[in-house]
């Protein structure tokens, strides 16, 4: 038992894959301090198992100052906390499972060679392996204990259960309109939603997103609800109580993995195994594009192996067999007990008191809490 400082700047889904690692630290009695970015803060802001949460948004810092600013923030944290262990989890998915341009030895490999090197280990196992020090133990942890839950307040859970009760007897399908990058898009969203709504009179579709993608909210017979702008914590709880979640690689689909909610993960850059290993009720499907999975971190059109479409979206976002997807929807619908809530493997964790929080700013002059000279270049 000792002090562990966990450091990671990551997206919502990446943090949800890291929750089994955090559970392992809690279980062995570590005093855990977490340093993250705003998205990580949104995930952990209510977690009373943490000694402290500090957050810093490095990507608002001018690029030429990012490295020194980050190093200054970390130095100040280490000097203040004096951890026994520093668990640096950055690049445990991007870097270990998805090649980055800054890794030419992986980036420039053929697709098949890259798949063999980076495409086998599940995303939830990567940070857990680093924490436990043994890959076999990391697999065993996921296989025996499953995924781990976020911490929510009783009020948050009460809202979610009221939402579930209001939809009891309906077939609730949660669909993200889009993800953050060109291969995490959902051009089929409206067509597939309308197909489901026409076939199942008791179906309702809830749309999620931030409104920044190509897809826009749509309606159908009063049975489509847009949740654009809803807090991510609320959407993650909705993913627990939905009957089915369908969509591309987004935090919402990872939430369905965490809870054990039936899902159809539309896998593009990574494999279904990497995205859903050990998860219950999985009906996910791989893109039919030959380069999928490419095991690359895709940010720009030039990162793709094949030309992007005129829409600006990657080819792999389009190439899913609609008939096969609808067969999987039918399988879930036909076996759905109208509430999967009693069948979730991952239990809710109710937090009583939020942890101490520190938000760290950056300015082009040295600041209190940032090592001298960190911002002055």
Domain shared by 169 and 288, yes or no:
yes
Domain shared by 100 and 168, yes or no:
no
Q: Which residue has the tokens 């847009």?
A: 226
Domain shared by 98 and 211, yes or no:
no
* pLDDT less than 70: residues of the chain: 337-345, 363-377
Predicted pLDDT of residue 368? 43
Predicted pLDDT of residue 280? 86
Predicted pLDDT of residue 364? 59
DSSP secondary structure, 193-230, as one string: HHHHHHH-TTEEEEEE--S-SS-----STT-EEE-TT-
Is 371 domain-assigned? Answer: no
HSE-up (13 A, CA, CB side) for residue 211: 5
Predicted pLDDT of residue 337? 61
Domain shared by 203 and 219, yes or no:
yes
Predicted pLDDT of residue 95? 85
Domain shared by 279 and 325, yes or no:
yes
Burial of residue 217 (CB within 10 Å: 0-12, 13-18, 19+) is: middle
Torsion sign (Cα): 89, 90, 96, 97: positive
Domain shared by 243 and 175, yes or no:
yes
- CATH code of 167's domain: 3.40.50.2000
Domain shared by 142 and 218, yes or no:
no
CB distance 283 to 262 below 8 Å: yes
- CATH code of 94's domain: 3.40.50
Domain shared by 128 and 271, yes or no:
no
Residues forming a β-bridge with 190: none
Considering its fold, how many domains does the chain have in total?
2
Domain shared by 339 and 355, yes or no:
no
Predicted pLDDT of residue 143? 94
Is 366 domain-assigned? Answer: no
Is 7 domain-assigned? Answer: yes
Predicted pLDDT of residue 363? 66
Predicted pLDDT of residue 374? 35
The domain of 317 spans: 159-343
CB distance 54 to 359 below 8 Å: yes
Domain shared by 59 and 191, yes or no:
no
User: How far apart (Å, rounded) are the C-alpha atoms in residues 377 and 374?
Assistant: 8
Quote the longest CA-to-CA distance of the chain: 64
Predicted pLDDT of residue 91? 85
Is 219 domain-assigned? Answer: yes
Q: What is the pLDDT of residues 110-159, one digit of tens each?
A: 999 999 999 999 999 999 999 999 999 999 999 999 999 899 999 999 99
Burial of residue 7 (CB within 10 Å: 0-12, 13-18, 19+) is: buried
Is 368 domain-assigned? Answer: no
Is 370 domain-assigned? Answer: no
């Amino acid at each position: 038992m000792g002090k562990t400082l966990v450091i990671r700047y990551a997206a919502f889904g990446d943090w949800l894959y890291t929750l089994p690692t955090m559970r392992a630290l809690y279980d062995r009695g570590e005093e855990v301090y977490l340093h993250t970015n705003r998205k990580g803060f949104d995930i952990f802001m209510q977690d009373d198992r943490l000694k402290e949460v500090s957050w810093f948004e490095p990507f608002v810092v001018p690029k030429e100052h990012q490295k020194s600013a980050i190093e200054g923030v970390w130095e100040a944290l280490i000097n203040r906390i004096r951890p026994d262990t520093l668990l640096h989890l950055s690049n445990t998915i991007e870097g270990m499972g998805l090649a980055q341009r800054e890794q030419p030895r992986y980036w420039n490999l053929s697709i098949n060679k890259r798949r063999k090197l980076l495409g086998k280990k599940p995303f939830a196992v990567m940070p857990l392996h680093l924490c436990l020090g043994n890959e076999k133990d990391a697999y065993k942890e996921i296989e025996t204990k499953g995924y781990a839950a976020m911490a929510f307040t009783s009020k948050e859970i009460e809202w979610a259960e009221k939402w579930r009760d209001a939809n009891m007897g309906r077939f609730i399908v949660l669909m993200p309109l889009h993800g953050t990058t060109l291969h995490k898009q959902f051009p089929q969203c409206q067509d597939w939603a309308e197909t489901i709504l026409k076939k199942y009179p008791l179906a309702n579709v809830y749309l999620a997103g931030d409104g920044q993608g190509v897809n826009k909210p749509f309606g159908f017979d009063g049975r489509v609800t847009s949740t654009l702008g809803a807090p991510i914590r609320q959407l993650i709880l909705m993913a627990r109580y939905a009957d089915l979640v369908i969509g591309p690689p987004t935090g919402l689909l990872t939430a369905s993995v965490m809870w054990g909610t039936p899902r159809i993960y539309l896998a593009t850059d990574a494999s279904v195994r990497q995205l859903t290993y050990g998860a219950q009720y999985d009906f996910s499907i791989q893109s039919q594009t030959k380069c999928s999975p490419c095991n690359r971190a895709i940010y720009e059109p030039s990162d793709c192996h094949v030309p992007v479409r005129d829409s600006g979206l990657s080819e792999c976002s389009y190439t899913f067999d609609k008939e096969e997807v609808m067969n999987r929807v039918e399988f879930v619908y036909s076996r759905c007990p109208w509430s999967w809530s009693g069948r979730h493997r991952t239990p809710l964790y109710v937090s009583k008191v939020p942890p101490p929080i520190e938000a760290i700013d950056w300015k082009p002059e040295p600041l209190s809490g940032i090592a001298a000279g960190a911002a002055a270049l």
